[in-house]
Structure 1
Amino acid sequence: MRYYITLSLFLVCLLVNGQENYSTLTQKALETMWKAKDEAGYQKALDLYESAFKIYPDSIDGTGLYKASVLASELKNTDKAFKYLIPLSKMKADEDGYPGWDYVIGESSKSEYKNLLDDPRWKTLVQSAVREKEFFYKDLKEIQDEFFRTKALSFDEHENAVKLYSQIKNSSPYLPKKQQNYSVLFKVNDSTNTSYLVHLPKDYDPGNKYPVLFFLHGAVRNNVLSDYQMPAENLGGWNRFYTKYADLNHVILVFPKGGKKYNWMTPDDGFFMIPEMLKQIKKTINVDDNKVFISGHSNGATGSFSYLMKQPGSFAGFYGFNTFPKVFTGGTFIENIKNRSFINFSTDQDYYYPPNANDAFTQLMKDIKADYKEQRYNGFPHWFPQFDESEPAVQTVFNDLKSRRRNPFPKEITWEYDDNNYGNIDWISDMKLDTLQPKARWHKALNFKITKWLQYDKNDSLITENVNKNAFDFPRKSGKIKAIYADQVFKIETSCIQSFSLNLSPEMINPDKKIKVFINGKLYFNGKIKYDRKLMLRNFENNRDREQIWISSLHFKV
Structure 2
Amino acid sequence: MKQRLVTAFSCLCIAIGAYAQDFPAFQAKQLIHRGDTLPYRILYPDGYDPEGQYPVLFFLHGAGERGNDNASQLTHGGSLFLADSIRHAFPAIIVFPQCPEASFWSNVAIQSQDDGKREFYFRTGGKPSVGMRLFLRLVRQTLRDEGVDKKQVYIGGLSMGAMGTYEALRRKPKVFAAAFAICGGDNTFNVKKYAHIPLWIFHGEQDDVVPPTHSHAIVTELKRLGANPKYTFYPTANHNSWDAAFAEPDLLPWLFSHAKK
TM-score bin, normalised by smaller chain: 0.7 to 0.9
Structure 2 matches for 1:22-101, cutoff 5 A? 51-54=5-8, 59=12, 61-62=14-15, 95-97=20-22
**Which one scores higher on RCO, CA 8 angstroms, separation ≥ 6?**
2
The structure-2 alpha-carbon separation of the partners of 1:400 and 1:94, relative to structure 1 and needing over 3 Å to count, comes to closer
C-alpha offsets along residues 50-87 of structure 1, whole Å, 9 cap, x if unaligned?
75544697x454477xxxxxxxxxxxxxxxxxxxxxxx
Partner of 1:20: none
The count of corresponding residues between Structure 1 and Structure 2 is 238
RMSD: 3.1
Query: Identity percentage over the alignment?
Result: 21
Q: Which residue does 1:250 correspond to in 2?
A: 91
Q: CA deviation digits over 1:23-63, x for unaligned, max 9?
A: xxxxxxxxxxxxxxxxxxxxxxxx8xx75544697x45447
Cα shift at 1:403: 1.2
Identify unmatched segments of 5+ residues in structure 2: 109-127
Residue 333 (structure 1) shift: 2.6
Aligned to 1:342: 199
Pick aligned residue for 1:215 from 53, 59, 62: 59
Alignment of structure 1 residues 168-179 onto 2, 5 Å: none
Question: Are the aligned partners of 1:53 and 1:60 in contact in 2 as well (CA < 8 Å)?
Answer: no
Is the 1:195–1:229 Cα contact (8 Å) retained in structure 2? yes
CA 1:341–1:237 in structure 2 vs 1: closer, same or farther (change >3 Å)? closer
CA change 1:95–1:372 in 2 (3 A) is: closer
Structure possessing the higher radius of gyration over alpha carbons: 1
> Given the alignment, which residue of 243, 246, 252 partners 1:398?
252
Q: Shift of the alpha carbon at 1:205? A: 2.6
Q: 2:47 aligns with which of 203, 213, 218?
A: 203
Task: State whether residues 191 and 218 of structure 2, in contact with CA within 8 Å, keep that contact through their aligned partners in structure 1.
Answer: no
- Counterpart of 1:187? 32
What residue is the counterpart of 1:269 in the other structure? 129
The answer to whether structure 1 residue 293 and structure 2 residue 154 are counterparts is yes
Letter in 2 for 1:195: P
TM-score (normalizing by structure 2): 0.77
Pairwise CA distance, 1:371: 3.7
Distance 2:211 2:163 in 1: 14
Residue pair 2:58, 2:154 contacting (<8 A) in 1 also:
yes
Q: 1:379 Cα shift?
A: 1.3
Bigger share in helix: 1
1:236, distance to aligned residue in structure 2 (A): 5.4
| Matches of 1:240 and 1:180, distance apart in 2 | 10
Stretches of structure 1 lacking an aligned partner (at least 5 in a row): 1-7, 9-46, 65-92, 99-178, 408-558
| Equivalent residue, structure 1, for 2:79 | 240
SS in 1 for 2:41: strand
- Cα 1:278–1:356 change in 2 (3 A) is closer
Between 1:357-366 and 1:300-309, the stretch displaced more is 357-366
Residue 287 (structure 1) shift? 0.3
How far is 1:310 from its partner? Answer: 2.4
Aligned to 1:445: none
Tell me by how many angstroms 1:350 deviates: 0.8
Cα distance, 1:235 vs structure 2: 4.5
Per-residue CA distance 1:515-548 (angstroms, 9 max, x = gap):
xxxxxxxxxxxxxxxxxxxxxxxxxxxxxxxxxx
Aligned AA (2:31) = F
1:372 corresponding residue in structure 2: 229
**Partner AA of 1:96 in structure 2:** Q
Q: Secondary structure at the match of 1:254?
A: strand
- 2:175 is aligned, of 306, 314, 319, to 314
